[in-house]
A and B are shown apart, each in its own frame.
Chain A
Amino acid sequence: MANNLETESAANADEKVVNRNALELATLFIAAGLTLAALIAAIGYDFSSSRPLFVILVPLVLLVVVQIYRTMKQGDTETSMNVVKAALGGKILDFAVSVKFFMLLLALLVCIYILGHYAGLILAMFYLIRVHGGESMKISLIVPIITAVALYALFELVFSIELFQGQLYRYFAGYRIW
């Protein structure tokens, strides 16, 4: 029994290393593409403006290439490709949860843009606490409202910082929003 558990945890650790390698490789290839594009763009700039860019980009490109080489040496490229495919297909749990969280943050941004800061935050927080977190209805309602009131008191009353009122409010207030 104990041996089985040890074998299972070792397999999990191996899988994590393989996944991390694949993620690093994918990230490095994106970084390499972006830095090369930046290097090409820098060539077109005035010399005074591009000089510091060359000082930064030349070693950066070299280091990224070195790191790609090191990462490829640590693992099998084909396995890494398979992991990337699996991740994009939603089969790797941690990656899927991270993507979900990012999507939730984007949804929060859209809510704030349309409904305004407070309404957007309350809605997003309610969703996160109730639907994702599985908390009780009471907590899911109380926590967002108290947070919004506290933020209003802190930002608007103490620091006189007006938060975004939302396009919906602006539309009804007579602003041209588009």
Chain B
Amino acid sequence: MGILEGLVSGFAQAISFEVLPFLIVGSIFGMIIGIIPGLSGHFAMAMLIPFLYKMDPAPGIAFLLAAHATVAQGGGLTAILFSTPGTGQNAATLLDGPPMREQGKAGVAVGAAMTSCFLGATFGAVALALLLPVLQQVVLFFGPPEIFVLSFLALTFIAVLGKEDMTRSLIAGLLGLLVSMIGIDNVTNQERFTFGLLELYDGLPLVPVILGLFAVAEMFDLFVKGGSLVDKQHGTLSAGQTQKQIFEGIGIAFKKWWLVMRCSAIGTTIGIIPGLGSAPAAFIAYGHAKQTSKSKETFGKGNIEGVIGAEAANDAVEGGALASTVAFGIPGSSSMAILLGGLFILGLETGVDMVTTDVDIVFVMIFTVIFGNFIGTVFGMFLVNPIARATSIRSSIMVPILIAVVVTGAFAAQGSLFDIVVTLIFGVIGYLMKILNYSRAAMLIGYVLGHAVEKNLYLATQLKGTFFFLSPIPLTLCLITLGFIAYNVYGMIKDRECQ
């Protein structure tokens, strides 16, 4: 399928009656999850995964990606209104959002943040569309040996660049790979770590693993902490005042279009690199906005450019992250790993097929990111006060409701009680990883990549022999991986000597 054909088909599918309702529901759901502190984009996606079994590819992708796309918008809203970022990626918004609220300009900050999110996401999505012709050529150079080595490079990036400790993240990534090996080996029919359990012959099911690692682990955390989700409620603005200020904020974001473009470019570029994610992108963009501003001294005291820069970069990350996921099947973050899992469930394959044959699906993703953010912006602007009240729900009510949804989702995926058991086990593992600072993203990415790693290792040795990694591209990727680890270990040793 050609790019123009894919674009038209993708657009038609995205606005069709089969897809649009799911896109709208997904966007609103993502926004509400984003508002609730402690629940993030991957939580929103994890909750929706069980429904994909009953859905066609286009509505399924729109449902999943729309929820993820609007999480950052919801998080930005609470960061400004309650000084509590709904998600970690909105932490940079805390620097200038709350000071603006204290100056009585909360609506202006919300309007600017929402619009910047939408513009940033659109920038990232357009960048992905423009990258497609390049990706179509590059992906042809990546056969089994290259993909095998690239998987380890991606895991290394995630381990080193993630916010967690490198050794811990590497352990998590390798554990994820190990867990993916459970079941019958497709090549030799050898049972591996099944303990004779019929339920494990096909391997550990994806949905319960995702729900356990991200959703149940968060439930553990909320249950242990208790209390309300937001400790302190700051006074919200009246509806009339809010609307007036929001439109002012929208105008300012459009006036500062060049700043939005620059910060979005930063976000998209960072999104392509596995492991970095939205939070560093937002801080780098914030730093850039401050450096290039004429009023540097007001940053941190309520400068709207700080809000615009951080929020634009936040959402632009998605376009870049999607590029590596769809082209190489290498997810750069836990959300992209869940998306990859969702694509498997929907019967879609990433890599050459995705960027050459299923171009329309890539464009459905692109339009979902754009429309989803637009819907989130409109929804957020008009319902800012009522939806912000979601933060005042006590965890004693929230936890049981979420547990009911998670358990039902885990069962519904395959109609098996065993899946609920797997969800609980991975919930405990996820909670332990969370409190001990082990990267759950690395584990999930390892788990999702496991099948690709094994398949490509087998094919690589069959095609090019044991020393397949000595071919030019795999060797280069191996050297980058080893060099990257060595450089970071050297840095750690040097730091320790300085201390």
Q: Please give the residue numbers on chain A whose beta carbons come within 8 Å of chain B beta carbons, in ascending order.
A: 20, 23-24, 27, 31, 35, 38, 41-42, 45-46, 48-49, 51-53, 55-57, 59-60, 63-64, 66-67, 70, 94, 97-98, 101-102, 105-106, 108-109, 112-113, 117, 121, 124-125, 128-129, 132-135, 139, 143-144, 147-148, 151, 155, 159-164
CB of B412 within 8 Å of the partner chain: yes
Contact B167 A52 (CB under 8 A): no
Contact B407 A112 (CB under 8 A): yes
Contact A38 B396 (CB under 8 A): no
In the assembled complex, the CB of A151 is this many whole angstroms from the nearest CB of chain B, namely 5
Query: Per a CB cutoff under 8 Å, which of B181, B408, B417, B427 touches A113?
Result: B417
Determine the distance from Cα of A45 to Cα of B454 in the docked complex, in whole angstroms: 15
CB of B457 within 8 Å of the partner chain: yes
Contact B411 A48 (CB under 8 A): no
In the assembled complex, the CB of B482 is this many whole angstroms from the nearest CB of chain A, namely 12
Contact A105 B427 (CB under 8 A): yes
Contact A164 B432 (CB under 8 A): no
Determine the distance from Cα of A54 to Cα of B36 in the docked complex, in whole angstroms: 42
Query: Per a CB cutoff under 8 Å, which of A49, A101, A159 touches B224?
Result: A101
Given the known interface contacts A151-B404, A163-B408, the answer about A45 and B192 at a Cβ–Cβ threshold of 8 Å is: yes
Contact B408 A151 (CB under 8 A): yes
Determine the distance from Cα of A133 to Cα of B192 in the docked complex, in whole angstroms: 43
Determine the distance from Cα of A10 to Cα of B375 in the docked complex, in whole angstroms: 46
Q: Is the interface of A mostly helix, strand, loop or mixed?
A: helix
Contact A133 B396 (CB under 8 A): yes
Rank and list the top 9 A-B pairs by shortest CB-CB distance, nearest first: A133-B396, A49-B190, A60-B174, A125-B400, A49-B185, A128-B400, A46-B188, A161-B412, A101-B223
Query: Per a CB cutoff under 8 Å, which of B51, B174, B188 touches A56?
Result: B174
Contact A109 B188 (CB under 8 A): no
Q: Is the interface of B mostly helix, strand, loop or mixed?
A: helix
Contact B436 A27 (CB under 8 A): yes
A-B contact count (CB 8 A): 152
Contact A164 B435 (CB under 8 A): no
CB of B399 within 8 Å of the partner chain: yes
CB of B54 within 8 Å of the partner chain: yes
CB of B401 within 8 Å of the partner chain: yes
Given the known interface contacts A45-B190, A49-B187, A60-B178, the answer about A67 and B168 at a Cβ–Cβ threshold of 8 Å is: yes
Q: Which of B363-412 contact A (CB under 8 A)?
A: 394, 396-397, 399-401, 403-405, 407-408, 411-412
Count of chain B residues with Cβ under 8 Å from any Cβ of A?
A: 51
Nearest A-chain residue to B190, judged by Cβ? A49
1/0 per residue B168-180: CB within 8 Å of A?
1011001101100
Q: Which residues on B sit within 8 Å (CB–CB) of A132? A: 396
Q: Please give the residue numbers on chain B whose beta carbons come within 8 Å of chain A beta carbons, in ascending order.
A: 51, 54, 167-168, 170-171, 174-175, 177-178, 181, 185, 187-188, 190, 192-193, 216, 219-220, 223-224, 394, 396-397, 399-401, 403-405, 407-408, 411-412, 415, 417, 420-421, 424, 427-428, 431-432, 435-436, 453-454, 457-458, 461
Given the known interface contacts A117-B411, A121-B408, the answer about A109 and B400 at a Cβ–Cβ threshold of 8 Å is: no
Nearest B-chain residue to A102, judged by Cβ? B428
> What are 20 A-B interface contacts by the 8 Å CB criterion?
A24-B436, A49-B192, A51-B461, A53-B192, A60-B171, A60-B174, A67-B168, A67-B171, A97-B223, A97-B224, A98-B224, A105-B216, A121-B407, A124-B404, A129-B397, A129-B400, A133-B397, A147-B401, A163-B412, A164-B415
Determine the distance from Cα of A28 to Cα of B495 in the docked complex, in whole angstroms: 25
Nearest B-chain residue to A63, judged by Cβ? B171
Q: Which of B400, B432, B457 has the most CB of A within 10 A?
A: B400
In the assembled complex, the CB of A70 is this many whole angstroms from the nearest CB of chain B, namely 7
Contact A155 B407 (CB under 8 A): no
Q: Which residues on A sit within 8 Å (CB–CB) of B188? A: 46, 48-49
Determine the distance from Cα of A31 to Cα of B405 in the docked complex, in whole angstroms: 30
Given the known interface contacts A60-B171, A63-B167, the answer about A163 and B396 at a Cβ–Cβ threshold of 8 Å is: no
